[in-house]
Structure 1
Amino acid sequence: MIQALAVFTVLGLMLIASASFLAHAADRIADATGIGRVWIGTILLAGATSLPELATDIAAVKIGAADLAAGDLFGSSMANMAIFAVVGLFVGKLTPPGRSAEVMALAALAMLLNASAALFVMLRPTSILLGVAPQSLLLASVYCLGMYALYRNRVRTTTVAAETTPTSHHRRLYPALLQFAMAAGALLVLGRPFAEAAVRVSEISGLGTTFVGTLLVGLSTSLPELVTSITAFRMGSSGLALGNLFGSNAVNMVVFLAMDLADRKAPIFAELDPSHSATGLFAVILMAIATAVAVAPASRRATLGRWLIATVYLLGILWLQRSGSGSG
């Protein structure tokens, strides 16, 4: 048990180190391109910090631990909102992202995807289309359409600024992209051994894989989001942090398609324990509260909202512990 936890801890620390480089690189990319921090956080930063989920969950599915993978995805969505609350309560006073409509649209997309995935888990559909569950294809399609809509809206408002961007900004872009790619690659490489360590801990602890996947793996694979969000807020880039957190919750649901492609034995949603739908519901509730807080983060109601997020998160974890122990 000690050895498994030690490996798990070391890999987590390596994830943290890589994430700190990601945040600084993403901020420089946003400056150089002029696209905006919310969109950069949504696409680049969220995509990169979700690489541990991608690698971890594909590896988990291949070794027959689909429930661990699903618990990781929904648990990560919950953990990201807990990160949002903790950063606001203890790191310092936050400022509005500047484009609250853009953040609200992103949050709505993330809630729609998580709620849909939770519904699919509850229904356990067995239909197949093109070798995978049509529901996983639907989640990926909705995500792509949502990202395209956000991109088009952002580009229309930054065209003039992009035309006047100094040449020096373009020269700074390439080193930032290189640093970003290297850090993202490190996160991807760490995914598989991280999944194996999590499965080992679950086997030794005797707890159900549903609980371990949601709490242990979900929290740990959210370490990149935690580190990048704290770094972004301290740099004054609240849009980058919010795009990262809500964007990660959206892209996590696309991982169901990757899991489906990795395991062709049966449609992915037909293999999962229906209890994961409750985890998805908790994630949606947390995102709804966080959206209201993000619009006016400096108000007294926002502080109450952050404490409410922490309370709902803990209630969700307690429920998952009981159900996970029962199934383990």
Structure 2
Amino acid sequence: MPDLTGYSTPSVLALFAVAAILVWVAGTRLAQYGDAIAERLNLTREFIGLIFLATVTELPEIVTTFTAAQVDNAGLVLGNMFGGITMQTAILALADFFAVRHALTSWPRKPTHALVAVMLIVLLSALLAVTFIGDRAIVSHVGIGAICLSLGFPLVIALQRGFDQKSSWAPVDLPDEDRSEKALVTSQVDFSAQGTAMLIGRAALYSLLILGAGMVLALSADALAGQTSLGSSFIGVSLLAAATSLPELSTTLAAARIGAYTMAIANIFGSNLIMLALILPADMAYENGPILSQADASAQFSIATGIMVTAIYVAGILIRRTPSLMGAGLDSWLVMAVYLVSLAGLYVMG
């Protein structure tokens, strides 16, 4: 892997900024093409939000996690993953502030989102327990905790599908839903003249652009951690997690603007589940033993705040008529407060 530690701090910051811009642009365009492909292939919005959109917007996290693990920076890997969970959940609060009528959690018509969030809390709690007792390698340097947690995403998807098909739960006293038929991400591009093969090809090109930019993000963040006094954990939780969450931010805000509120929620919860699944490839790339055994107090603190913000939104979904404050739900204000306090806490710990 290229070493950027020899570059000056302004040069590394410039590389980081350029890579972040590329991630933002490519992530937005990839979501547009992905939505067009889904429409062409008659895929459901639920699939787009929870599986497809969550997966493609996680590409920066995938490549940065793998790259940071290869350069043996466990603090950056764990900070990016666990801090990213709180960061991405806070994106829902931003959508509530700027793009949602009524409270965001007043809109879901099904309990599916609450179920997925509860399972996410269970997995995060198990992860926190593993960081306290330490992971144990069973295959080379790969830990049993990493293997078990990586199975959480397909397990939750299977549980969600079965629950969604059998549940007779029905909400009452809901706000009027926006029935807009617009695409998930608004665009001036007309995809009707493009064939399916062209759509897939261009989506692949944007995926490669995100992969390349994500690698630059990880390498520049690793260099910044060494050149500054902030430390790998704080850089991973704040700067790197924010940059790699740009695709989630752009797609979630776009979904909320057109009234696809449940799609926005599914995108974030799905992204957080995939974040936990990344522990296994990170463990495989990190050669100094199970990576979860390197979790420090900062990583454990990030996991705890991830549990808190997810639980707050579960409560909001169950209450349904969430109290509003200045146009946004009280739960979103609480989530944003927890996120800001977590940044301050991690800075002090660092």
Give the TM-score category using the shorter length. 0.7 to 0.9
Structure 1: stretches of 5+ with no match in the other structure: 158-168
Matches within 5 A, 1:4-153: 4-93=12-101, 98-129=108-139, 131-151=141-161
Q: How many residues align structurally?
A: 313
Q: In 2, distance between residues paired with 1:22 and 1:156? A: 33
Matches within 5 A, 1:127-276: 127-129=137-139, 131-151=141-161, 176-276=199-299
1:35 and 1:155 in contact (8 A); partners too: no
Paired residue type of 1:225: E
Shift of residue 92 of structure 1? 3.5
Shift of residue 313 of structure 1? 0.9
Paired residue type of 1:3: S
Structure 2: stretches of 5+ with no match in the other structure: 1-8, 168-191
The structure whose residues are more often helix, as a share, is 1
1:51 and 1:188 in contact (8 A); partners too: yes
TM-score by length of 1: 0.86
2:108 and 2:317 in contact (8 A); partners too: no
Shift of residue 316 of structure 1? 0.9
- In structure 1, the residue matched to 2:344 is 318
Determine what percentage of the aligned residue pairs are the same residue: 26
Root-mean-square deviation over aligned CA pairs: 2.7
Q: In 1, distance between residues paired with 2:197 and 2:162? A: 24
TM-score by length of 2: 0.81
Quickly say closer, same or farther: Cα 1:44–1:304, change in 2 above 3 A.
same
Look up the SS of the partner of 1:128 in the other structure: strand
Quickly say closer, same or farther: Cα 1:156–1:184, change in 2 above 3 A.
farther
Q: In 2, distance between residues paired with 1:262 and 1:269? A: 13
Shift of residue 257 of structure 1? 0.2
Look up the SS of the partner of 1:80 in the other structure: helix
Look up the SS of the partner of 2:142 in the other structure: coil
Q: In 1, distance between residues paired with 2:101 and 2:322? A: 7
Q: In 1, distance between residues paired with 2:195 and 2:258? A: 18
Shift of residue 28 of structure 1? 3.2
Shift of residue 182 of structure 1? 3.1
Per-residue Cα deviation, 1:243-300 (whole angstroms, up to 9, x for no partner):
1111111110111100111123311111232431111010111011123335647752
2:322 and 2:330 in contact (8 A); partners too: no
Quickly say closer, same or farther: Cα 1:116–1:184, change in 2 above 3 A.
farther
Per-residue Cα deviation, 1:145-166 (whole angstroms, up to 9, x for no partner):
2123334556889xxxxxxxxx
Q: In 2, distance between residues paired with 1:205 and 1:130? A: 34
Shift of residue 137 of structure 1? 0.8
Paired residue type of 2:23: L
